[in-house]
Amino acid sequence: MTSNAANSPQRAGVIAVTWEEHRRTRELCKWLGVPLYELCFSGPRLIRYARLGLATIRLLWTARPRLVYVQNPSLVLALLVLCLKRVAGRYRVVMDAHNQAITPFTYTHWPIPWLSRVAIRRADWTIVTNRALAEQVSAWGGRPLILPDRLPEPPIEPAPAPKLEGVFQVMVIATYAADEPIAAIIEAARQLGSSYRFFMTGRPTRLDPQIRAKLPTNVTLTGFLEEHDYWRLMRDSHVTLDLTLQPNCLVCGAYESLSMRRPMILSGNPASRDLFGQVALFPDDYSPEAIAAAVARAREEYPEIVRRTEVGAQRFSERWAERAQRLRTLVEELRPPPGQTAV
């Protein structure tokens, strides 16, 4: 089991704990100055839950925090932290609820939706990324805080957009999850032909073997990319393409693209249009024809969407800091003064 916390657990006013590595949580904790404990272990599900559960109990017992930031998923982690409130310091809980924690797309069977609502009602605050999810949290008796992802800091410097000459390069941000219209994207690439080149990230073993066997020549499966290679591909591409079938889902690739100053093509759900409507392009639907039309439009309007992306990145960061101030105020109220140990 691994943890990336800089120091061994000690008494602290505010801590953050997750059972997986996630860029959103890392960036937010960095901005808040909150120690983040990423407790990670790979193994059979029951053994994983047992080991991570014990590690979490030890962490909370040692730190005795006044406020715990917890990421959901994992729902098991969120419920554990909420159940331990009375015995490990009567702390408050800020639960960062990703889309799967509110509107499950993969795990829809009972009791997952019911337990998700229990967690939302018992958390002191539930962070969501958009207004639609906030309304759902309120309807279930929770207290929502709306906060999109903070723009990440790339490990390489952003560069001017590639020149619009020769082949038009598209980075497809994918994991081959059930909510990604992969087959339609590949067919769109086939329709666009050799003047477009698609580089598709993610582990190709998750791609349907029949689709993989008939890939068009202008689609390259990159495999899982290390951090620098991932950002380098984004920097070298003209646009990024990150589509999801989940309603009101704000994809991580959108924030990454904006931080690298690269135009993006996103799903046209209300949340994405509300947050990225000034900088992104949206296909009319998820058919190959609509996706191909959006990519072709990105090429036709390239100078203009590059300009909008540059302006939009600065405005986004300013608005995000304003929205995050409420959470920062809460953290500062519960953080002990410098030199004083939390009690």
Residues 216-259 pLDDT 10s: 999 999 999 999 999 999 999 999 999 999 988 999 999 999 99
- Range of 33's domain? 14-147
Same domain, 180 and 290: yes
How far is residue 194's CA from residue 168's CA, in Å, rounded to a whole number?
A: 9
- Residue 98: pLDDT band with limits 50, 70, 90: confident
State whether 136 and 177 are in the same domain. Answer: no
Of 91, 71, 66, 134, whose CA–CA distance to 323 is shortest? 134
Residue 99 in this model has a pLDDT that exceeds 90: no
Query: Can you tell me the mean pLDDT for 93-102?
Result: 89
Looking up residue 70, the CATH number of its domain turns out to be 3.40.50.2000
Q: What does pTM read for this prediction?
A: 0.85
Residues 209 and 314 sit within 8 Å (Cβ to Cβ): no
Q: Is the pLDDT of residue 2 over 70?
A: no
Q: Do 199 and 311 belong to one domain? A: yes
Residues 86, 188: one domain?
no
CA 92 to CA 112: how far, in whole Å?
23
Task: Write down the residue that tokens 């982690």 correspond to.
Answer: 77
Query: For 313-319, what is the mean pLDDT?
Result: 93
194 and 63, same structural domain?
Answer: no
Q: Which residues pair with 72 in a beta bridge?
A: 97
Supply the pLDDT for residue 326.
87
DSSP H or E stretch at residue 275: helix 270-276
Summarised one tens digit per residue, pLDDT across range 136-183 is: 999 999 999 999 999 999 999 999 999 998 999 999 999 999 999 999
User: Do 192 and 76 fall within a single domain?
Assistant: no
pLDDT at 267 over 80: yes
Between 87 and 129, the more confident residue is: 129
Q: Classify residue 157: in a domain, yes or no.
A: no
Same domain for 45 and 78?
A: yes
> Could you report the per-residue pLDDT of 47-66, keeping only the tens digit for each?
999 999 999 999 999 998 99
Q: How confident is the model at residue 343 (pLDDT cuts 50, 70, 90)?
A: very low
- Average pLDDT of 37-46? 92
Q: Is 3 a residue whose pLDDT tops 90?
A: no
Buried b (16+ CB within 10 A) or exposed e, 94-105: bbbbbbbbbbbe
| pLDDT value at residue 105 | 64
Q: Does some domain include residue 78? A: yes
pLDDT the model gives residue 223: 95
What would the mean pLDDT of 271-286 be, rounded to a whole number? 95
Whether 29 has a pLDDT exceeding 60, the answer reads: yes
pLDDT in tens, 82-91: 999 888 768 9
- Please report the pLDDT score of residue 338 as a whole number: 55
pLDDT at residue 58, rounded to an integer: 94
**Do residue 93 and residue 206 come from a single domain?**
no
Q: Using CA atoms, how far apart are residues 6 and 10, in angstroms rounded to an integer?
A: 11
